[in-house]
Structure formats: C-alpha cells, structure tokens
Amino acid sequence: MLFRPPAACAILPPMQPLRLSKIVAKSGLSRAPLAEPFLVSLYRALAPYRGCAHGCLYCDGRAEKYYVEGQFDRDIAVRANLAQVVAADVAAGKAAAEFGAVCFGSGVTDAWQPVEAELGLTRSLLEALQPAGLPVVILTKNALVRRDFDLLKKFPKALVIVTLTTTDPETAALLEPEASTPEERLQVVREAREAGFSAGIMAMPLCPGLSDQSEQTAALFDAAQAADAQFVFPGGLTLRPGCQKQLFIDMVQARRPALLRSYSEIYAENRVSGMPLKSYAAPLQRGWELDLARSGMPARIPWTVYKELLCPADSLFVLLCHMQELYSARGVNIRPLKAATDRYAEWLRKTRASLRRDKKLLQQPNFPVSRRLTSLLQGKRSEDLPLLQSLEENDMAASLGAILQNERLAALCAGLLNGSHDFDYCSLQVSLAIPAGTEP
C-alpha cells in the first residue's frame, strides 16, 4: 500500500501565491573539517532561503528527513539577516585563516529561485562575502544567476554549476515547472565560460523513462559540449519513502501511466536513501560515464577546475575521493587507494583541527592555516609558500609517502600538486602538463 501524504505534501497549482516567512540566521561562515568532494568547497553552503518555488517534483528536499515546514514549493522561509551575519563574520576574520571555496546552494533550496528577483538577498550575500577573498561555487537551475556575473568577476575564482536533467522542454516543464528552461540554463553555461568563469552541468536526477535513456542522455551530453561545459556530472533519481516518493509516483500515474509499473519495480526495495535497484542503476551510471569519457567530457568536476578553488591539501583530498569513484566505476580494485585516502583524511582532519586551535598561527595574515598545511605537505615548517603555485615535487613526494604509505601514489600526487602533471578524468591517465599559452 502506498504512503498517503498529508495535505501539505500535495502538489498545488503552479500559480498559487507564495507564502513568505522570516527566520533568523544564527550562523554565517562555517568551515568543514574536510573539503566536500561533491561540490568541491571547504566552507559550508550559504543560502538565504529554505524551501524552493521551482517546484521540482523529484527534489530530495521534499523528504521528511529535512524537516522543511509547510508546503515545500509554496512556503518559503527567508533568512533576511544572513548577509549581515556573513559581513560580520568577514569583518571579524572568520574567513581569514583558510583558503577554500564557499558554496552557494543547498539540497533544500536554490539561492536564485524566483523570489530572489524581488528580494535580492543572494546578491547581498555575494556582496558581503566578496571582501573575504575566497572563491565561490554556484549551484542553480535559474538563469537569474546571470544578473550577478558582475559580482562574480570580483572573486578570485568562480565555478558556476547548472542543474540540467533534460534538454526536452516538455519534460522539463513537467518535472521542474518553475525553473528556467533547458535552453536558458545552457545559455548560463555559455555566458559563464565567456565571462571567464569555470562552468559545468549537474545532470541529476536522470529519471527512469523520462530522461535517463540513451537517446535522452546523448542529447543532453551533446548540448553540454556545445555550451562549452567543462564537465557533466550524471546521476540517477532517488525517491525517499514518504512525501517525496509519493508525490513523484502520483505524477507518474497521472501524467506517464505507462511508466508506473517500471517505477514500482525499480524502487521496490523502498530504501531509506531512496536508491533504486542496483541492477537497474549501476549499468546506467556506468554507461553514462563511459559515454562522457568517449566524448572527452569529465563525469566529475575535474582537477583542472577545483585545484584553484581549494588549497593543495584540500584539492588532494578531493582528487583522491574522485579517483576512488572513477576507478571503481571502471571495475578497478580500489582497496589500496581507499586505504591511502583514509590515512590522508585522518591526517588532514587531525592536523587541521590542531592548527585551528593555534592562536599564534591564527594571528598571521593571508590564510595561515592553509599555508601551514601546504608547508607540511612539503615536509617544511615555513609558511612562505604559495597557495596555488608549483611546489617542490621531490620533497612533497617524500612527505606524502609518509602519510599515504603508498610511494607510487605519493609520487603521482606530488607531480599533480607541483603542476608538472595533469590527471585526465576521462582516460584516468596521468600525463605531463601542457604549459599555459602553448599549443597541445
């Protein structure tokens, strides 16, 4: 028997007015112990809204797990004071110790959803953060983000990620009724690249029978390349038992009844995570990633993008996590890699925690914690090292070898960190780096 949601979970008419309420933001800038590999950021996500008027029927934020009060796509809570809190954090030096990207986006909202056009809170938030000198990662499915490209140019680096689940306007209108059209989102990627930003596409969730079949994903991947995206990160649909799953199944029954039986089978396990049958999802995921690799399109945010968004210690952690995922998808035994990654994560977590408590260190300028982490990767104590330029490969290989307990991997990582080598997310091969300004 299917779960019947309370009235607050029902799909309301798309033109029903929004109901805005205010909540007080009690915290602003907050650093994680480790960089987040999914959105390659060190500082936890900032969003002035809770709930999202895009009304995407697949949104994981609708699940009871997130405790969003009211009707998810009509009752929007507004943190009107968040920009002031972040401005106070920046003035107090809370962003001065560590270099790393700040993410604008969240699983329960879109910072550029329609109400932002009127309230402008996300723009104010960008203005408050800009003096900190940190990079930013943007995640949105609304073309309104182009309004703020003038501000993004003032940040050291900006990565603009657009969620795009289909290139078919009819399917998009069904699944994402108030989001920008697929073509408008592709235009965001084009203009972001023209403006000098990094940009790519989060192709998730790809929904069974609606947007996950080969001809549908081929069209999406081709459109991404035409828009000059630097990556496409594909992923399937999760349906958590309860409100989220029931809403989506109700839509399938009403609008795509021929697919109802397949959905009942694919999500028959009713997992808490919402994951479909592995026998269905795994071959598709592998196929998407192989299709992208054959076309030369990375299936994750690539090293060449995020190495400038994080300090070397954090970019290396993200790289090791990505390597696990990419090699595992190709059927490679990753146990030695996982063991080395776990050792490195433990070293990084403990070392960072200790440095964050060092009051004398924190009084130094120019991201002293990040600089000390960089020096420790070099086996040195001096902080007079560049954050993002080349490092001494031999010294670093020895230092990393002691941490990773894997000399071959340590040498590979040292070459990447010092800029002499690149890692290709498509071929999964390490190659000599091509100097800037030269022809390949």
Model confidence at 252, pLDDT cuts 50, 70, 90, reads very high
Determine the Cα–Cα distance for residues 143 and 137; give it in Å rounded to an integer. Answer: 16
Q: Which domain holds residue 29?
A: 23-237+299-305
Query: Lowest-pLDDT range, 19-23, 268-272, 378-382, 433-437?
Result: 433-437
Say if residue 220 is in the same domain as residue 359. Answer: no
Residue at a domain's end among 255, 278, 305? 305
320: pLDDT strictly greater than 90: yes
420, 341 Cβ separation under 8 angstroms: no
**Residue 316 and residue 170 share a domain:** no
Q: For the residues 298-320, what does the mean pLDDT come to?
A: 97
Under DSSP, is residue 162 helix (H, G, I), strand (E, B) or coil? strand
CA separation for the pair 385, 127 (Å, rounded) = 29
pLDDT at residue 327 tops 90: yes
**Across residues 411-431, what is the average pLDDT?**
90
For 132-146, write each residue's pLDDT tens digit: 999 999 999 999 999
SS3 for 246?
helix
Residues 47 and 189 in one domain: yes
Let me know the angle formed at the C-alpha of 59 by 54 and 60, rounded to the nearest 5 degrees: 145
Residues 33 and 176 in one domain: yes
Tell me: do 217 and 353 sit in the same domain.
no
The residue among 420, 357, 424 whose CA lies nearest residue 391 is: 420
In tens, the pLDDT along 111-128 reads 999 999 999 999 999 999
Residue 354: what pLDDT? 97
The number of folded domains in the chain is: 2
User: 178 lies in a domain?
Assistant: yes
User: Do the domain assignments include residue 42?
Assistant: yes
Q: How far apart are CA 404 and CA 400, in angstroms?
A: 6
Which of 305, 329, 358 delimits the end of a domain?
A: 305
Among the candidates 277, 305, 333, a domain finishes at 305
Q: How far is CA 379 from CA 165, 371, 375, 382, 394, in A?
A: 45, 12, 6, 9, 10
pLDDT, tens digit (0-9, with 9 covering 90-100), for 185-230 = 999 999 999 999 999 999 999 999 999 999 999 999 999 999 999 9
- Taking Cα atoms as reference points, which of 49, 23, 41, 46 lies closest to residue 114? 49
Q: Where residue 393 falls among pLDDT bands split at 50, 70, 90?
A: low
8 band by pLDDT with thresholds 50, 70 and 90: very low
In a domain, 212, yes or no: yes
pTM: 0.93
Q: Are residues 82 and 208 in the same domain?
A: yes
Q: Is the pLDDT of residue 106 over 60?
A: yes
| CA distances (Å), origin 229, targets 172, 182, 185 | 20, 14, 11
Determine the Cα–Cα distance for residues 254 and 16; give it in Å rounded to an integer: 20
Q: Would you state the pLDDT for residue 70? A: 86
| Beta bridge mates, 232 | 201
